[in-house]
Amino acid sequence: MKYLRILPFIIFLFFLAGCSNQDGTADTSSASADTIENKGSDTIVNLALAWAEEYQHVHPDIRISVTGGGSGTGIAALINGTVDIANASRQIKTEEIEAAQANGGDPIEFVIARDAIAVIVHLENPVNELTLQQISDIYSGKIDNWLEVGGEDRPIVRLSRETNSGTHVYFLEEVLRLGAKDNPTLFSQNTLLLPSSEGISVEIRQNPNAIGYDGLGYVTDEMKVIAVAREADTEYILPSAETVNNGQYPIARDLYMYTNGEPTGAVEAYLDWILSAAAQPIVTELGFVPVLH
Amino acid sequence: MIKATSTSTTRYTTQRIGFGLLTAMTLFTVLPILAVVIYILVLGTPAINGEFISGFPREGMRAGGIWPAIVGTFYLTLGTAIFAVPLGIGAAIYLSEYAPENRWTRLIRIAIINLAGIPSVVYGLFGLGLFVLFLQFGTSILAGSLTLSIMTLPVIISTTEEALRAVPQAFRTVSISLGATKWQTIRRIVLPQALPGTLTGVILGLERAAGETAPILFTVAAFFLPRLPASPLDATMALPYHLFVISTQVPGMPVKIQYGTALVLLAFVLGMNFIATTIRSRARARRQW
Amino acid sequence: MDNSLNWREKIITRFIKVSGYSAIIFVGLIFYFLLREGLPTLGEVQFNSLFATRWYPIEDYFGILPLIGGSLIVTIGATLIAVPFGVGAAIYISEIAPRWMREILKPLVEVLGGLPSVVLGFLGILILSPYLRVFLDLPTGLTALAGSLLLGGIAIPTVVSVAEDALDAVPKSYRDAALALGATEWQTIWRVTLPAARSGVLTAVMLGIGRAIGETMTVMMVTGNAPVMPGGLGALFEPARTMTATIAAEMGEVANGSVHYHVLFFIGIVLFLISLIVNVTASAVVFRQHKRQERILS
């Protein structure tokens, strides 16, 4: 029964060895490598990931760690000084800037891409176009059947991202409330709040009653994108790089990265690269809209 | 029973229907499990290859492997074991060998039952409040392992206690009468006899830790990390959270990789389950008392 | 030498005692930290708006009733599935199945208990909910029912193993007596064994309910998460948002120390208290049964 006594020690040593070994390799590499901590918006996380991967091919000596968690989380981490770059799908709030300044920081903003929010339905849904007002009425619960907007006699199932996503907030302010600050419209209570974009995609793909919205990057050819008009008498526009950059498509926003103070060294080089012709094509690959500089 | 009366025929008809119903219910309970396992096995196997197991995720996790998640789950399980096993076995020894039958002991038992019943997401909240924020471990393997180990304690305690109690009292009496101290008796006589049962309990507890997502959401889990965790104070990817992420958060995720990840997680968890049940049934068969 | 042995014995005994009491310490710690982070809610949110029917935290609507209702409706559905099937399977395994069958069935049910809830949720999104929508002709398959079905599956192993233990504990003499009196096996099970194991089966049911109400990931993935106040059993066929899913979905992105953060911990307190009540009731039933048995035997 001797092994009974040794077993826990072996496990413990193994654990320590595993960790310290990792420590060793991390130490040797960090002597020659810089680490960039990058955290924030779930909308941007896939883009940030793609950039990080590509950048590490070009500059193997730089290590970039990317985590999601939401725009608020990223900015909070930036204020606390635990990340180098915060990703946000919304602009930093005044309170957050104040909080950062109170901590001796100074957030600097970079617009790194644009995102069109596409309104999506099932492929077999005959509805092709909607006005902003109609979309607002659908989501607030005033319109309950596809018949009312020229579709089949089917109940409307509303899909939305969770309330803490930047996309949700943007959609509430710009679409449901049509950009008016004092408009108290809220999402209908039976709106399905899915924890993720992919949840919306899965449901849209198989449910002909559903309507959803999501970043253009999440749209695949298994769903139908609705053309949107600002008013009933204006043109219905489909989201694309062109219509977003010339301002025709009404539901589009900027995506941001923030640094604490003017970036220097590896972070500066990385941000320069992100805004360069080398990195912006990746934006298109992921379905976002590149920024024109 | 030679003269079967009409009532006894109906009685047996009722029995036949009843038994049939119960059999059907059992099948309805068991068949879906088999279906789930087989389904994931069939759809997940094509994804499994060397790169999938030992590679890093690439192209926004849509290609490459899940090695960091496997390593993360391994570390978390190991970390959980380091904290939960000594404490759990200690508590079980106390309950079976030392505890007097009084109000305090009853309170301990109620506390254990409650620990077992607390929702896993509440453990997550607790871990966030105590380990991550109050003790400032940050989102780290340490915070996650501690949270998971408290969650697994009740399983380890109750199975181990059962195993200890199954050791006949005579073993202890003989050992003590030969001059051994109480602890010597426990360590040399009782624990070795109860080893298989204890191991089963430990593995079943760790199995639960390995498969849980909710407690690690706010305490360890990282969406994507391009490197392995370097110290217990690092965040890490973990298999259950990774499966949650790739099945809900990443657009255009190949189904093959989702099922592959589900299969690896299932294999990890069911493998532990299998080892636990094998140890138990072997030990039962070999038991000399 | 003897002295050092004594010392070791003392230290180890001390360690064992401390770990014995650890469970109480942990329950206390958990409750303390939930209260610490959750109680400020009562000072920040009006009582009336906390127990209101609208949950929309980004606009400061913190009504938790739809979440409690959502947990309730999903749990009721899960109980309706897990109790008959769980108890039925327990009776089959303990009373009817031949020995070899039992050896196969018991570990299989344990496997179900070990299936990670994320895996079930994953299959729930991809297979169960589309199927439910088509089969029941619902607007969407992401409903409380989808959650109930999966939770039922998750609660069944708990119900089966506890109920089976209870049935197993019924002395063989009870059955022999009933059979000798001319009862069929079915009558014996129904009239003798099951009533004798009643309190154990009740415990099984309670623990199963506890398991269902606390489950998180599966419900978050399949119930649609719409914070609608359920109006009746018909709400099973509508989307629902449970307390657990709300915590899991929103905790990651709230600022520490904000009102929203405190309210989520407050929901944690509600969940903790519910599980406390369920488990204390379940164990009280067991203790009472022990006492009665002791009386009968003495």
The two tokens of residue C105 are 């069935």
Contact C140 A72 (CB under 8 A): no
**pLDDT score, position A293:** 57
* Cβ atoms of B261 and A207 closer than 8 Å: no
* HSE toward the beta carbon, residue A126, CA cutoff 13 A: 9
Beta bridge partners of C93: none
Contact A65 B225 (CB under 8 A): yes
Residue B165 has pLDDT above 50, yes or no: yes
**pLDDT score, position A292:** 67
Beta bridge partners of A255: A113
CB < 8 Å & 24+ apart, contacts of B15-22: B15/C184, B15/C185, B15/C186, B15/C187, B18/C186, B18/C189, B18/C190, B19/C96, B19/C186, B21/C88, B22/C88, B22/C89, B22/C91, B22/C92, B22/C96
Query: Is residue A240 located within the same domain as residue A141?
Result: yes
* Cβ atoms of A256 and A274 closer than 8 Å: no
> Could you read off the pLDDT tens digit of each residue along chain A, which spans 293 residues?
444 444 444 444 444 444 443 433 333 333 334 778 888 887 788 889 889 888 988 888 888 888 777 777 788 888 877 789 999 988 888 888 888 888 888 899 999 998 889 999 999 999 999 999 999 999 999 999 999 998 889 999 999 988 767 788 888 988 889 888 788 888 988 899 887 777 788 889 889 999 999 888 778 888 999 999 988 888 999 998 888 888 889 888 889 999 998 998 899 999 999 999 888 988 888 878 888 65
Residue B243 has pLDDT above 80, yes or no: yes
Contact B213 C117 (CB under 8 A): yes
Q: Provide the CATH number for the domain around residue A129.
A: 3.40.190.10
**pLDDT score, position A21:** 39
Considering only the beta carbons, identify the residue of B95, B109, B273 that sits closest to C110.
Answer: B273
* Separation in Å, CA of C261 to nearest CA in chain A: 12
B6 occurs within a structural domain: no
Q: With H, G, I as helix, E, B as strand and everything else as coil, classify residue A56.
A: helix
Give chain B positions within 8 Å (CB) of A8.
82, 85-86
Maximum Cα interatomic distance, chain A, rounded to a whole number of Å? 86
B104 occurs within a structural domain: yes
More confident residue, C256 or A31: C256
The two tokens of residue A67 are 């985590």
How far apart are the C-alpha atoms of A223 and A244, rounded to whole Å?
Answer: 20
**pLDDT score, position C3:** 67
Please provide residue A119's backbone torsions phi and psi, each rounded to the nearest 5 degrees: -95, 125
Question: What's the one-letter identity of residue A147?
Answer: L
Q: How many domains does chain A have?
A: 2
- ipTM, 2 dp: 0.87
Residue from B89, B228, B258 to probe the interface with A (highest A Cβ count within 10 Å): B228
The two tokens of residue B122 are 């509440």
Q: With H, G, I as helix, E, B as strand and everything else as coil, classify residue B260.
A: helix
**For chain C, how are helix, strand and coil distributed in percent, rounded to 5?**
80, 0, 20
Residue B226 has pLDDT above 60, yes or no: yes
Considering only the beta carbons, identify the residue of A11, A69, A196 that sits closest to B82.
Answer: A11
**pLDDT score, position B212:** 86
Residue B158 has pLDDT above 60, yes or no: yes
Query: Is residue A123 located within the same domain as residue A89?
Result: no
**Contact partners of A by the rule of 3+ C-beta pairs under 8 A?**
B, C
* HSE toward the beta carbon, residue A123, CA cutoff 13 A: 9
Average pLDDT over residues C199-225: 87
Q: Of A188, B119, A166, A118, whose CA–CA distance to C239 is shortest? A: A188
A291 occurs within a structural domain: no
* Separation in Å, CA of B76 to nearest CA in chain C: 15
DSSP state of C237: G
Q: Which residues contact C59 (CB under 8 A, 6 or more apart)?
A: A186
Contact B94 C19 (CB under 8 A): yes
The two tokens of residue A180 are 């008016």
A4 occurs within a structural domain: no
The two tokens of residue C63 are 């009504």
Average pLDDT over residues C173-178: 89
Q: Give helix B141-165 / helix C2-38 axis angle, nearest 10°.
A: 120
**For chain B, how are helix, strand and coil distributed in percent, rounded to 5?**
75, 0, 20
B41 occurs within a structural domain: no
Average pLDDT over residues B189-193: 89
Give the structural domain span for A238. Answer: 115-245
Considering only the beta carbons, identify the residue of B223, B226, B251 that sits closest to A217.
Answer: B251
A197 occurs within a structural domain: yes
Query: Is residue A98 located within the same domain as residue A133?
Result: no
Query: Is residue A237 located within the same domain as residue A133?
Result: yes
A272 occurs within a structural domain: yes
Q: Which bin fits C212, alpha (ψ -120 to 50), beta or left (φ > 0)?
A: alpha
Work out whether strand A157-161 and strand A192-194 pair parallel, antiparallel, or are unpaired. Answer: parallel
- A110 burial type by CB count under 10 A (0-12 exposed, 13-18 middle, 19+ buried): middle
Considering only the beta carbons, identify the residue of A73, A168, A203 that sits closest to C252.
Answer: A73
Query: Is residue A136 located within the same domain as residue A194?
Result: yes
How far apart are the C-alpha atoms of A174 and B202, rounded to whole Å?
Answer: 54
* HSE toward the beta carbon, residue C216, CA cutoff 13 A: 29
A233 occurs within a structural domain: yes
Give chain B positions within 8 Å (CB) of C20.
90-91, 93-95, 98-99, 108
Residue from A27, A67, A159 to probe the interface with B (highest B Cβ count within 10 Å): A67
Q: Write down the mean pLDDT value for chain B.
A: 85
Query: Is residue A121 located within the same domain as residue A240?
Result: yes
Average pLDDT over residues B172-193: 88
Give chain A positions within 8 Å (CB) of B58.
53
Question: pLDDT by residue (tens digit) across C92-102?
Answer: 998 888 888 88
Question: E-strand spans in chain C?
Answer: 55-56, 61-62
The two tokens of residue B235 are 């965040």
> C39-297 maps to which CATH number?
1.10.3720.10
Reported confidence tier of residue B7, pLDDT bands at 50, 70, 90: low
Q: Residue ranges per domain, chain C?
A: 39-297
Contact A194 C224 (CB under 8 A): yes
Query: Is residue A158 located within the same domain as residue A236?
Result: yes
Residue C173 has pLDDT above 50, yes or no: yes
**pLDDT score, position B289:** 60
Contact B213 C186 (CB under 8 A): no
Q: How many domains does chain B have?
A: 1
Give the structural domain span for B190. Answer: 66-286
A57 occurs within a structural domain: yes
Q: Provide the CATH number for the domain around residue B281.
A: 1.10.3720.10
How far apart are the C-alpha atoms of B188 and B180, rounded to whole Å?
Answer: 10
A174 occurs within a structural domain: yes
